[in-house]
């Protein structure tokens, strides 16, 4: 006996695209969370530091969800991940312009330009991932 059950797993192009987008999304979410955790370690404290730690935890949880959830839970996770990165970038842009909850930010603070770029790319990646996940055929 060869141990072959007669079933083979074939990956269609749609499945491959889905997995690529899930992996890229997880990388983006880890990067966004990692930036915020790094900023806590280099001295951001107080309420903002607490919010940054929560941001890092949320990024990690969503990244894990992107890799391990399936079906409706994956759909919910992709939408929440997209909204999470949009909210994170919006909060930074508000802090850079008019202030956000009394917090103002400048472009020369640690990792601000890099964060804007990474989160902007993240929005595009997560928007595509959300589209791919919501369009993927459901398993019976």
Nearest alpha-carbon partner for 116 in 24, 35, 22, 26 = 35
Whole-angstrom CA distances from 85 to 3, 103, 137 are: 46, 19, 26
In a domain, 140, yes or no: no
Residue 140, pLDDT score:
42
Residue 73, pLDDT score:
95
Q: What's the number of domains the chain is made of?
A: 1
Q: What range does the domain containing 70 cover?
A: 13-135
In a domain, 1, yes or no: no
Per-residue pLDDT of the chain in tens (140 residues, 90 and over written 9)? 455 555 555 556 678 889 999 999 999 999 999 999 999 999 888 888 999 999 999 999 999 999 999 989 999 999 999 999 999 999 999 989 998 877 788 888 888 999 999 999 999 999 999 999 998 776 54
What is the distance between the alpha carbons of residues 85 and 128, in angstroms, rounded to a whole number? 13
In a domain, 130, yes or no: yes
Residue 108, pLDDT score:
87
| Number of neighbouring beta carbons within 10 Å of residue 32 | 26
In a domain, 5, yes or no: no
In a domain, 118, yes or no: yes
| Number of neighbouring beta carbons within 10 Å of residue 26 | 21
* pTM of the predicted structure, to 2 decimals: 0.85
- The alpha helices in 13-140, defined as continuous H runs, are 13-41, 46-68, 71-97, 112-135
Residue 76, pLDDT score:
95
């Amino acid at each position: 006996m060869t141990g072959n059950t007669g079933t083979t797993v074939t990956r269609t192009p749609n499945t491959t695209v889905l997995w690529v987008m899930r992996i890229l999304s997880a990388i983006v979410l880890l990067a966004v969370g990692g930036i915020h955790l790094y900023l806590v370690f280099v001295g951001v404290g107080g309420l903002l530091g607490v919010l940054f730690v929560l941001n890092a935890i949320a990024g990690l949880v969503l990244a894990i969800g992107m890799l391990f959830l399936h079906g409706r839970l994956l759909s919910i996770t992709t939408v929440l991940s997209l909204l999470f990165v949009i909210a994170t970038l919006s909060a930074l842009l508000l802090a850079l312009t008019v202030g956000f909850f009394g917090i103002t930010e400048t472009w020369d603070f640690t990792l601000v330009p890099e964060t804007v770029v990474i989160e902007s790319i993240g929005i595009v990646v997560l928007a595509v991932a959300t589209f791919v996940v919501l369009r993927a055929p459901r398993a019976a």
